[in-house]
Amino acid sequence: MHGTLVPSALDPSLFIPDLKCRRKDSALAELVACAGRGGVLRHPELALELLAAREALGSTSPGRGVAVPAIRSLAVQHGRVVVARSRRGIEWGAPDELPVHVIALVCSPAECPASQHVETVLRVAAAMKPQRARAKLMEAETFEAIAALLREALP
């Protein structure tokens, strides 16, 4: 089902173990490029533009070192989550002003209902909220360990 994010939405090719960039816009560009290479996006440049518009509304980091940017777009071919880590941390304008170390980009196709898209964003954010979960995400050596944690969050 194209409109639904399922556990298979987590794919090892959609994982960036350690982002080298320091800026939010560069990090988003890397995530989008990764999604483009993975066949998730038809128009990466349009997806990036939409993400920038969303960030202009307010930060997509709820704090605690995580960020969950999200797009629902005709540019998205398949519902997927792109995961990236940054050991150095990236300034994301979070309410607690902490740098972001784990980013999960939620990509939903346009036909995915708004409620379902938002639900996925909230579940992914909630899964990364506990300190233990964040530590696991940062320490995980394989993508499978990360997927195991986030998979539980997907409806």
Partner 1 sequence: MSAAAALIRLHDLDLLLAELREVSLAARLRRAGFALGDARDLEAARARRFGELDPRWRHHYERAGRRYGAAVASVRGRVCQGCFMTLPRSASRGDAESVSLCESCGRILYRGRAESEVSESPVTPPPRSASPGPPRSRPS
Binding site for partner 1 (CB under 8 A): 2, 42-43, 46, 49-50, 53-54, 56-63, 68, 71-75, 77, 93, 95, 109-111, 114-115, 117-118, 121-122, 125-126
The residues that bridge with 81 in the sheet, in sequence order, are 10, 106
Q: How far is the CB of 66 from partner 1 (least distance, A)?
A: 10
- Give the containing element (helix H, strand E) for 53: helix 44-57
Q: How far is the CB of 136 from partner 1 (least distance, A)?
A: 20
Q: How far is the CB of 22 from partner 1 (least distance, A)?
A: 21
The position carrying tokens 């128009």 is: 43
- What is the C-alpha to C-alpha distance for residues 146 and 73, in angstroms, rounded to an integer? 25
Nearer to partner 1, 33 or 77 (CB): 77
Contacts of 74 (CB under 8 A, 6+ apart): 42, 109, 110
- Amino acid sitting at position 77: Q
Q: How far is the CB of 85 from partner 1 (least distance, A)?
A: 20
Nearer to partner 1, 128 or 137 (CB): 128
